[in-house]
Amino acid sequence: MSGAVTGTEKAWRIVLYVVAIGGFFFLVAPILAIVPLSFNDGQFLTYPLRGVSLRWYEDFFFSGTWMSSIRNSLIIGVFAATIATFLGTLAATGLWLADFPGKRFISAFLLAPMIVPMVIYAVGLYFYFAPFDLTATFTGLILAHAVLGTPFVVITVTATLSGFDRTLIRAGLSLGASPVRVARSVVFPLIAPGVIFGGLFAFSVSLEEVITVLFIGGPNQRTLPREMFSGIRENISPTIAAAATIMIVLAVLLLLTAEFLRRRSSRLQARG
């Protein structure tokens, strides 16, 4: 039978599964190692565990320094993701609708923050922001993180628009709707999952970024990653493991939300 699976194909599938599972465990091994340490009753990040305790989570949640860093991370992340989502959606939609000379150059320019090494970006941003007194300010960090998150929004929205039927726009315009109403009532509801997906990516990028914060952030803008970085350099405590575990939980929640939106977008496209 032509549809039968041969022994060679079965062997290759098994090899593929083994490699995929091995790669998965290799990537998550640091996570699997750090989470148990956050429940360690000892004073040091060592195995075997001396006992199980929530003392380091208590130290984390009742510490003004750690709580301040979380608040700063959320403030910067939310505003940066909002700006990145707005600008990235506009850029992706404009590039999708229009066809003009230099389109590929502009697309590459929008994706440059993903390619340029973070240290180079941070140093350049410091010298650019310094004359405008944007260093050591929340405004400067929000703008910096917004630039880092915009390429992710452009990519996700562009991917969503690739399956969009342009005849829906022409139909809306032919029925007398204005371009703004067509965009609000026709285009945006269909690409909303991709927009939100990109916004979540932009928020995740801001939440974990530390190099830019080290260069242009001040004492009042200490984010959670920067606080963890400083703690590793100055005083290694299991509280850092608790903070890392909380960031892992946040990342997992963002991934689950993104997967939900992806499936919802797939169902909407299938119905369309």
Over the stretch 61-88, which tens digit does the pLDDT of each residue have?
888 888 999 999 999 999 999 999 999 9
**Interatomic CA distance for residues 17 and 42, integer angstroms:** 39
When mean pLDDT is compared over 146-150, 178-182, 216-220, 226-230, the highest value belongs to 146-150
In a domain, 6, yes or no: no
In a domain, 158, yes or no: yes
Give CA torsion, residues 255, 260, 262, 268, to 10 deg. Answer: -170
pLDDT level of residue 265 (50, 70, 90 thresholds): low
Count: domains in the chain: 1
Enumerate residues 6+ apart whose C-beta is below 8 A from 210: 223, 225, 226, 228, 229
What's the predicted TM-score (pTM) here?
0.81
The pLDDT tens digits of the residues spanning 20-30 come to 898 888 888 87
User: Mean of the pLDDT values across residues 115-128?
Assistant: 89
In a domain, 80, yes or no: yes
* pLDDT at 2 exceeding the cut of 60: no
In a domain, 37, yes or no: no
The token pair that represents 130 in the structure block = 């310094």
Q: Does residue 82 or residue 104 have the better pLDDT?
A: 82
Share above pLDDT 90 across residues of the chain, in percent, rounded to a whole number: 16
When mean pLDDT is compared over 78-82, 88-92, 100-104, 204-208, the highest value belongs to 78-82
The pLDDT tens digits of the residues spanning 172-200 come to 777 777 777 877 777 787 788 788 888 88
In a domain, 226, yes or no: yes
Q: Which domain holds residue 192?
A: 63-271
In a domain, 33, yes or no: no
In a domain, 12, yes or no: no
Cα torsion 122, 127, 128, 134: sign? positive
The CATH number linked to 231 is 1.10.3720.10
The token pair that represents 123 in the structure block = 């140093």
Separation of CA 260 from chain center: 15
In a domain, 26, yes or no: no
* pLDDT at 231 exceeding the cut of 80: no
84 burial level (CB within 10 Å; 0-12, 13-18, 19+)? buried
pLDDT of 146: 93
**Residue (of 64, 57, 85, 56) closest to 197 by Cα position:** 85
